[in-house]
Amino acid sequence: MKNLMKFNTKKGFAFAFACLFIGQVELKAQDKAPMMRPETEDDFYKLISLPVPEDVILEVGGMATMPDGSLAICTRRGEVWIVSSPGISGNEKPVYKKFASGLHEPLGLAYHDGDIYVTQRSELTKLSDTDGDGQADEYKKIVSWPLSGNYHEYSYGPTFLPNGNMLVTLNVGWSNSLGHGVSLVPWRGWAMEITPGGEMMPYAAGMRSPAGYGMNAAGDFFYTENQGDWVGSGRISHVEKGDFLGNAESLEWSGLPGSPVTLRKEDIPNTGEPMYDVAQRVPGLKAPAIWLPHGILGISTSGFLNDNTAGGFGPFANQVFVGDQGQSNIARVDFEKIDGVYQGVVFPFREGFSSGILRMVWGNDASMFVGMTSRGWSSTGKELFSLQRLVWTGRMPFEMKTIKSKPDGFEIEFTEPVDKELAADPANYQVTGFTYKYQAQYGSPVINNENCDIIGVVVSEDGMKARLVVDNLRLGYIHEVKAEGVKSTQGKALLHNVGYYTLNNFGAGEKIDTAPFLAARHEHEMMMKAAADSTAKAQADAEAKAKAAKQQAAASKPAAPKLAKYTPAMPASWDGAADITINMGTKPGLKFDPAQVQVKAGSKVKLVFQNVDDMLHNFVIVMPGTAIEVGEAAMKLGLEGQQKDYIPNTSKVLVHTKLLQPSESNTIYFIAPTEPGEYTYVCTVPGHFYTMQGILKVVK
C-alpha cells in the first residue's frame, strides 16, 4: 500500500488515499524532521549596504570591477565614480572619487586595457586617465548614432567580444499616442558591433528594451528583455549576428546597407500565436532561450551576470544571475544547449534589495556588488538609489540546483541528497505548461496553460537527482516545475521549490520504461474509485442540504441594491446621471494623477481611468490600510494574475477597473463608501502596488 503512493498523479486521485494514511504520514514526517525554524535566503546570502556620501547621487547605470578590486560606476546623472575598497567592513568606509562628469545618461560601462568605456545616449566614449591622477582627462568619442529626442531611446553596453570589437544595444522609442514602441531613427532596437577604430556595423535586430547583456560561461552573448509590445513577458535571448529577436519596429531599418537581417515589418504576423510557433515558419525569427514569468520572477528584467567564481559564491558555478529593476530581486538561470539551440530553467534566488536592480558585478572576493536606481522607473525597493553587496555565508542551501530536459520529461538535480521516498512520490511534484501571445499589443496574459501528467519518478542512488517522466510537454512552452513535497535527508524543505523551464528541444538519451508505473497506477486508481464511491452519496446529500438552506436564507432577506466591483455601464437606476465624474490618469514613475480625490459618502461616482503610461496599469479602490495586503494577494495569483486583471478575490477590494494597456481607457461606475474615511486606490500589478497609490477621501 505504501508503495502505491509513488504512482499518484492527480490531486483528485490522491484525496481518499491520503485520508486513509494521513496519520501515518504525519508521524513519519515528524520522526524524520527535527524541529527547526524555516530557513530564509538571508541564512545563505547576506545583503550588506555600502555607505554612499551625502553629496553623491549614485543612480547606477553601469558597473565594472577594476584590476585592484575597486568599482567603476557610471550614474544616470552623467558621472563616473571610482569606489575604492568596496569590500571593507566594520567602521571603515569605501572611498568615492569622481573620475568623469558631463555625460548623457550613461547606462553601461566596461573596463578594458586600462581605459573605461561608457555608453551614453548617443555615443560610445572612451575615458582615459593619461596623467595618472585618478581622473579622466581625455573623453574620446569612438562612434555616435542618431537620436530623435524620444525619452525612451536608452543605450546600453558595451560588451567586449573575443575579436576586440564591442556590442552596444539600443532601445526603441515610445509613442504614447500609438501605445507601442517606435524606431524613429536608424538602428533603434538593434545590437550594433563597433570596432576600436569607430566603425559601426548592424549586428542583430528585434530588441525592445535590451537593458541587460553579457556572456555566459561558453562565451556566447545574451541580452535580457522587458515585457512590452511584441514581448509577452520578460525573457533572455541568445544573440548571434543576423538574428531577429522579435520586436518588429526595428525592421524599419533592415533594408539599409550593411544590415545582416533581411526580414521586413510586413513579414511578421500579428496573430497572437506563441512566439515559438511563429518562429517555425518565419525564418530568421529567434525564440527566447528563457522566459521569466511576469509578476512571478520580475517585471523589468535587467542585469546579466555569469557566475565565474569557481564556487566562491556557492554551488552555482557557471550559472547566470539576472536582476530585476521593478521587483528589486535576482533570479538564477541555468542554460543548456540542445541541437544547437539554447534553453533552460530560471529559479527565484534573492529578494529584498533596497532599490531597483540595474547592474551586478563580481568583486575580487567572489561577492556580488549590485547597483540600483529607481528614479522615474520605480521599484519595490524604496530607495532612490543604492549600492549593496551580496555575500555567500558558506552554508549550503537546499535547492533545485538545476533542471535538465530529457526525452520523456525532466531531471532535477539537488544541492543536497533528498529523502528518497518523498522524492520518488509524484504527488510531491506538479508540472504546468503555459506560454504567452506574440503580438504587437503590450504584454500578454498566460495562455494555453495545462497540467502535465507525472507518470513516475526515478531517484538516483545517491539521492542527488530525481528523473520525472512527464506527459503533455510542449515545445516552445514554459513549464512550471514545483517540488513542494520534497525534503532533504535531514528534513529540510527546499529554499525555493519552483523553477520555470523553457523547452525549445527535447533532451537526448533513453526513455524510461513506464510499464511498471502504469500498472501500479491502475491498481491505485481502482482502490481510489472504490473509496470515492463509498462516500459520494453522503457528500452529495450534504451539498444538497447546504444549497437548500442557502436558498431559503436568501429568499427570506430582500437583497440590498449593490453594484458589482466592476461595473462598466451606468446603472439604469441612476436615470442617466452620476453625482460626480472623476477623470483619473497616470504619471511617469508609477503615479496616479491626481494623487487624491474627494467624494461624498454614498454618492454615485463615474470614474474614467486613462492609462497614458508606457506599461500596464489597473485602478483598484481598497479598504483603508490594505493596499499592500491586496497587492501581495494579487502577486500570489501567479500564472493567472494577468488573466484576472491582478484582482484577488478578497472583500478588501471595493471597486476596480480592468487591466489597461498603454493609451487605453476604462470607465466604471460605483457607489462611494457610506463610511467616511481615507480609502486607498492602488495599481495591483506586481511591483507597482508598493508605490502606485492615491487617496479617495470620503466625507459626509
Cβ-Cβ contacts under 8 Å for 475 (sequence gap 6 or more)? 276, 503, 504, 505, 506
- Using DSSP's 3-state secondary structure scheme, residue 70 falls into coil
Q: Decide: 584 and 608 in contact? Cβ < 8 Å.
A: yes
pLDDT of residue 658: 97
* Higher pLDDT, residue 687 or 93: 93
49-259+298-316+352-395 is classed CATH 2.120.10.30 = yes
Find the mean pLDDT for residues 453-457.
96
Q: How confident is the model at residue 551 (pLDDT cuts 50, 70, 90)?
A: confident
Q: Which amino acid is at 601?
A: A
* Higher pLDDT, residue 543 or 19: 543
Number of H helices, E strands in the chain: 5, 43
691 φ/ψ sector (left φ>0, alpha ψ -120 to 50, else beta): alpha
Mutual angle of helices 515-556 and 11-32, in 10-degree steps: 100
What cell was used for 443?
A: 504584454
Q: SS in 3 state form for 250-315? A: HHHHCCCCCCCCCCCHHHCCCCCCCHHHHHHHCCCECCCCEEECCCCCCCCEEEEEECCCCCCCCC
Residue 236 has pLDDT above 90, yes or no: yes
Q: Which amino acid is at 96?
A: Y
What cell was used for 472?
A: 503533455
Q: What is the pLDDT of residues 246-276, one digit of tens each?
A: 999 999 999 999 999 999 999 999 999 999 9
Residue 197 has pLDDT above 50, yes or no: yes
pLDDT of residue 11: 39
Q: How confident is the model at residue 553 (pLDDT cuts 50, 70, 90)?
A: low
The most distant pair of C-alpha atoms in the chain lies apart, rounded to whole Å, by 91
pLDDT of residue 515: 87
pLDDT of residue 542: 76
Q: 406 phi and psi, to 5 degrees?
A: -125, 165
Residue 23 has pLDDT above 70, yes or no: no
- Looking up cell 533572455 gives 236
Instruction: Identify the top-confidence range among 370-379, 495-504, 522-531.
Output: 495-504
Residue 19 has pLDDT above 50, yes or no: no
What cell was used for 439?
A: 503580438
DSSP 500-544: EEE-SSPPPSPPPP-HHHHHHHHHHHHHHHHHHHHHHHHHHHHHH
Min mean pLDDT across 13-27, 263-277, 643-657, 670-684 is at: 13-27
Peptide bond just before 516 cis, omega within 30 deg: no
Among 242, 238, 215, CA closest to 225: 238
Total-model pTM: 0.86
DSSP 576-625: T--SEEEEEEEETTTEEESSEEEEETT-EEEEEEE--SSS-B--EEE-TT
Residue 574 has pLDDT above 80, yes or no: yes
Q: How confident is the model at residue 71 (pLDDT cuts 50, 70, 90)?
A: very high
Cβ-Cβ contacts under 8 Å for 53 (sequence gap 6 or more)? 96
How far apart CA 626 and CA 632 sit, in angstroms, is 10
pLDDT of residue 211: 96
- The dihedral built from the CA positions of residue 342, 153, 115 and 48, taken in this order, carries a sign that is negative
Show the CA angle centred on residue 415, arms to residues 336 and 403, nearest 5°: 30
| Edge-to-edge strand ranges of the sheet holding 221-225 | 212-215, 221-225, 234-238, 290-292
Min mean pLDDT across 23-27, 320-324, 512-516, 534-538 is at: 23-27
Q: CATH assignment of 572-698, given 3.30.465.10, 2.30.30.230, 1.10.240.10, 2.60.40.420?
A: 2.60.40.420
Report which secondary-structure segment, H or E, holds 93. none
Q: Decide: 633 and 650 in contact? Cβ < 8 Å.
A: yes
pLDDT of residue 24: 43
Residues of 317-333 as b/e, b for ≥16 C-beta within 10 angstroms?
eebbbbbbbbbbbbbbb
10 Å CB burial of residue 117 (0-12, 13-18, 19+) is buried
Please report the beta strands in 603-685, taking only residues with DSSP state E, as ranges in sequence order.
Answer: 604-610, 620-622, 653-656, 665-671, 677-682
pLDDT of residue 638: 87
Percent helix / strand / coil, the chain, rounded to 5: 15, 35, 50
Find the mean pLDDT for residues 47-71.
97
Do domains 49-259+298-316+352-395 and 401-515 share one topology? The answer is no
Q: 629 phi and psi, to 5 degrees?
A: -60, -45
Report which secondary-structure segment, H or E, holds 553. helix 515-556
Q: How confident is the model at residue 557 (pLDDT cuts 50, 70, 90)?
A: low
Residue 2 has pLDDT above 50, yes or no: no
User: How many CB atoms are closer than 10 A to CB 450?
Assistant: 12
Find the mean pLDDT for residues 218-225.
98
DSSP 449-481: EEEE-EEEEEE-TTSSEEEEEESS--TT-EEEE
Q: How confident is the model at residue 357 (pLDDT cuts 50, 70, 90)?
A: very high
Find the mean pLDDT for residues 439-454.
95
Find the mean pLDDT for residues 377-394.
94
pLDDT of residue 545: 78
pLDDT of residue 18: 37
How far apart CA 251 and CA 5 sit, in angstroms, is 55
Find the mean pLDDT for residues 428-447.
96
* Higher pLDDT, residue 403 or 22: 403
Min mean pLDDT across 22-31, 62-71, 205-214 is at: 22-31
Residue 35 has pLDDT above 70, yes or no: no
- The dihedral built from the CA positions of residue 275, 281, 286 and 287, taken in this order, carries a sign that is positive
- The dihedral built from the CA positions of residue 466, 469, 474 and 475, taken in this order, carries a sign that is positive
Domain boundaries, the chain: 49-259+298-316+352-395, 401-515, 572-698
655 CA to centre of own chain:
27
Residue 283 has pLDDT above 90, yes or no: yes
Reported CATH class of domain 401-515 = mainly beta
Q: How confident is the model at residue 548 (pLDDT cuts 50, 70, 90)?
A: confident
Look over the chain and give the mean of its residue pLDDT values, rounded to a whole number.
Answer: 91
How far apart CA 227 and CA 147 sit, in angstroms, is 23
Cβ-Cβ contacts under 8 Å for 91 (sequence gap 6 or more)? none
Percent of residues, the chain, with pLDDT higher than 90: 81
Q: Which amino acid is at 486?
A: V
Percent of residues, the chain, with pLDDT higher than 70: 91
577 φ/ψ sector (left φ>0, alpha ψ -120 to 50, else beta): beta
Q: Which amino acid is at 153?
A: E
Min mean pLDDT across 62-66, 91-95, 593-597 is at: 91-95
